[in-house]
Amino acid sequence: MKRIRLWAPALLLMSPSLLALALFVYGFIGWNLRVSVTSWRGLLPKYDFVGLRNYAALMSDARFMQFDVPHIAIFTLVFVGGTLALGFCMALLLDKKLAGDALFRSVYLFPMSLSLIVTGIIWRWLLDNGNDASTTGLNKLLESAGLESLRSDWFRSDSAWAIAAIALPAGWSLSGYVMSLFLAGLRSVPEELREAARVDGANETRVFWHVIRPMLVPVLMSAIVILAHISLKTFDLFYAMDAKNIKIDTPALYMWFTTFDGGFYARGAAIATLLLLGVALVIVPYIAYTVREERRR
Cβ of residue 34: shortest distance to other proteins, in angstroms?
A: 9
Residues 81-100 that bind other proteins (CB under 8 A): 90, 93-94, 98
Q: How many helices (H) and strands (E) does the chain have?
A: 15, 0
**Of the listed pieces 67-75, 76-84, 104-112, 151-159, which binds other proteins according to CB under 8 A?**
104-112
Cβ closest to other proteins, residue 202 vs residue 276: 276
Measure the CA–CA gap between 205 and 240, rounded to whole angstroms: 43
8 Å CB contact between 68 and 251: yes
Fill in the amino acid letter for 75: F
Residues 194-223 that bind other proteins (CB under 8 A): 222-223
Cβ of residue 109: shortest distance to other proteins, in angstroms?
A: 7
Reading phi first (left if > 0) and then psi (alpha if -120 to 50, else beta), residue 141 is in alpha
State which of residues 50, 74, 77, 109 lies at the interface with other proteins (CB under 8 A).
Answer: 109
Cα–Cα separations (whole angstroms), residue 94 to 84, 100, 180: 15, 10, 10
Q: Which of 188, 193, 227 is nearest to 210 (CA)?
A: 193
Cβ of residue 192: shortest distance to other proteins, in angstroms?
A: 21
Residues 14-43 that bind other proteins (CB under 8 A): 14, 16-18, 20-21, 24-29, 31-32, 35
252 touches other proteins (CB under 8 A): yes
Over the window 225 to 244, marking each residue x when it contacts other proteins by CB under 8 A and - when it does not, the resulting string is -x--x--xx-xx--xx--x-
Helix axes 265-296, 213-233, angle to 10 degrees: 160
110 touches other proteins (CB under 8 A): yes
Cβ of residue 220: shortest distance to other proteins, in angstroms?
A: 12
Cβ of residue 101: shortest distance to other proteins, in angstroms?
A: 8
Cβ closest to other proteins, residue 160 vs residue 187: 187
| Count of residues engaged in binding other proteins, rule: CB under 8 A | 95
State which of residues 106, 210, 261, 281 lies at the interface with other proteins (CB under 8 A).
Answer: 106
SS3 131: coil
Measure the CA–CA gap between 164 and 153, rounded to whole angstroms: 12
Fill in the amino acid letter for 119: T
285 touches other proteins (CB under 8 A): no
The string of DSSP letters for 170-198 reads HHHHHHHHHHHHHHHHHHTS-HHHHHHHH
State which of residues 1, 44, 62, 133 lies at the interface with other proteins (CB under 8 A).
Answer: 133
Cite the beta strand spans of 58-196 per DSSP E: none
Name 142's Cβ contacts closer than 8 Å, sequence gap at least 6. Answer: 148, 150, 151
Cβ closest to other proteins, residue 12 vs residue 62: 12
Over the window 171 to 190, marking each residue x when it contacts other proteins by CB under 8 A and - when it does not, the resulting string is -x---xx--xx--x------
State which of residues 59, 65, 117, 150 lies at the interface with other proteins (CB under 8 A).
Answer: 117
Measure the CA–CA gap between 274 and 277, rounded to whole angstroms: 5
275 touches other proteins (CB under 8 A): yes
SS3 234: coil
